[in-house]
């Protein structure tokens, strides 16, 4: 990938997290990266296409983290799932509780942009499907009942996480994320396992 293009995408991620889509100024992005205006439009059609590519880059990182956590066969499947979310929470803390790019953009844009609503919805579906695969492995081991709905459980986990991530961002505090994980793994999955 062209170095200028990658530099813009790398800078765009924290700027979108901090400012959101509507307050992301292209001029501020150009100044932060030392990029001429013409170079931006050489690599991206417009601000929307740029932000969509930032989402793609964010998802590549999410899939890499999922690969690392869900592929760690030294842990039981449910522990792998929890580890992914714990690591994500640690990243939020290291970034100053800016939270989830998908959640932030989804809240900001889903009511006004079908493009972003569909894109972000698909991203959440991909995350839930990856998690569901690990929950199905837990079923095969007998850690969850064979008749539990792994997709529904995974979707619920993603939904609960996004709400907790918003509360964590508002409070600049990891407590909502930690409490949600404890509740989910004790109550939602615990109820399935009994």
Domains of the chain, first to last: 46-193 (1.10.357.10)
pTM over 0.95: no
Gap between the Cα atoms of 16 and 181, Å rounded: 26
Query: How many Cα atoms occupy the beta-carbon half-sphere of 81 within 13 Å?
Result: 27
pLDDT per residue as tens, the chain (194 positions)? 589 999 999 999 999 999 999 999 999 999 999 999 889 999 999 999 999 999 999 999 999 999 999 999 999 999 999 999 999 999 999 988 788 999 999 999 999 999 999 999 999 999 999 999 999 999 999 999 989 999 999 999 999 999 999 999 999 999 999 999 999 999 867 666 54
**Residues with Cβ < 8 Å from 63, sequence gap 6 or more?**
126, 130
């Amino acid at each position: 990938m062209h170095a200028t293009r990658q530099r813009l995408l790398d800078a765009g991620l924290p700027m979108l997290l901090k400012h959101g889509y509507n307050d992301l100024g292209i001029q501020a992005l150009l100044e932060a990266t030392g990029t001429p205006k013409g170079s931006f439009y050489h690599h991206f059609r417009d601000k929307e296409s740029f932000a969509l590519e930032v989402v793609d880059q964010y998802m590549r990182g999410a899939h890499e983290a999922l690969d690392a956590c869900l592929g760690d066969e030294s842990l039981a499947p449910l522990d792998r799932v929890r580890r992914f979310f714990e690591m994500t929470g640690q990243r939020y803390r290291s970034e100053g509780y800016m939270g989830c790019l998908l959640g932030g953009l989804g809240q900001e844009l889903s009511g006004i942009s079908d493009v972003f609503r569909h894109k972000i919805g698909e991203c959440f579906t991909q995350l839930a499907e990856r998690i569901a695969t690990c929950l199905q492995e837990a079923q095969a081991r007998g850690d969850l009942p064979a008749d539990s709905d792994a997709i529904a459980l995974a979707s619920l986990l993603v939904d609960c996480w996004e709400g907790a991530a918003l509360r964590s961002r508002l409070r600049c505090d990891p407590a909502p994320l930690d409490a949600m994980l404890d509740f989910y793994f004790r109550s939602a999955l615990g109820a399935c396992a009994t």
